[in-house]
Structure 1
């Protein structure tokens, strides 16, 4: 269940616009909480299936360590250079790990769609290559907040 966005209704994206935006963008920023309580933000490629954001992360990374200890996460996908071009989506919730860690390609029907979407978008392939260093984390967001400053019209 996704919470409704309350602020910025004038610039928020429709559900269809959010879906199109998350499907076409490539890089997200993942914010985690370190063991000492300090925030940590890192960039990562992802796949969006219309419901969940799928992260394919190196398992020997600070990001993976943080998420293994505390699965709460905030993720931002954004674009634009000029003020009137700024668009983005923030997704928050709790990560779930899916499949073997690290991923070596064992059959896992739950990963079929995510791996196909990720491989096509990021590698131009129909099948996901596995390197034994990465694994999957899924965020089905509790809350989605979006913005599209082009909806404000001319300055």
Structure 2
């Protein structure tokens, strides 16, 4: 995918899978996210295995993908280090850097309005160091018909 296609794809999809590594090995979990300002923004339970893993090792691999049939498969993998933004857990203290991501999260998953802070989640920001994408729709496989 081109960079513009990656941006559009990440803005369109709703769920990612976040892989972390901890003392017990790899851990992979689905999360909602927003793609905002060239970064992937995640809210995570601050008392979770994922959070514990990231406190020891901030490296993540995140996959967002779509498609059912082979010729429809497309996706993006983002790799890098996450950073915590705002208070842990998030209670709603003013954090200018979170205004855009919180507005986008509320619009995308909560029907608009303002972000609800439950005192259990905190924000993670991933500015990807490496982006890998694929789009099998471009491979010509969709145009090929099986022999009859």
TM-score (norm 2): 0.94
Q: Secondary structure at the match of 1:20?
A: helix
Distance in 1 between the 2:22 and 2:56 partners?
9
Correspondence 1:103 to 2:90: yes
Partner of 1:19: 7
Partner of 1:123: 110
Pairwise CA RMSD: 0.8
Structure 2: stretches of 5+ with no match in the other structure:
none
Partner of 2:54: 67
Q: Paired residue for 2:123, among 126, 136, 146? A: 136
Q: Size of the alignment, in residue pairs?
A: 142
Cα drift, residue 24 of structure 1: 1.0
Distance in 2 between the 1:148 and 1:117 partners?
26
Aligned residues of 1:28 and 1:77 also touching (Cα < 8 A): yes
Distance in 1 between the 2:113 and 2:65 partners?
26
Q: Paired residue for 2:63, among 71, 76, 80? A: 76
Q: Secondary structure at the match of 2:68?
A: coil
Distance in 1 between the 2:72 and 2:15 partners?
17
Correspondence 1:30 to 2:30: no
Distance in 1 between the 2:100 and 2:47 partners?
25
Runs of 4+ in 1 over 6 A off after TM superposition: none
Cα drift, residue 126 of structure 1: 2.7
Partner of 1:10: none
Query: Quick check: which has more Rg, 1 or 2?
Result: 2
Determine which structure has greater relative contact order: mean sequence separation of CA pairs < 8 Å that are 6+ residues apart, divided by chain length: 1
Aligned residues of 1:19 and 1:50 also touching (Cα < 8 A): no
CA deviation profile, 1:80-135 (whole Å, cap 9, x unmatched): 00001101000000000000000010000010001011111111123111100000
Q: Secondary structure at the match of 1:113?
A: helix
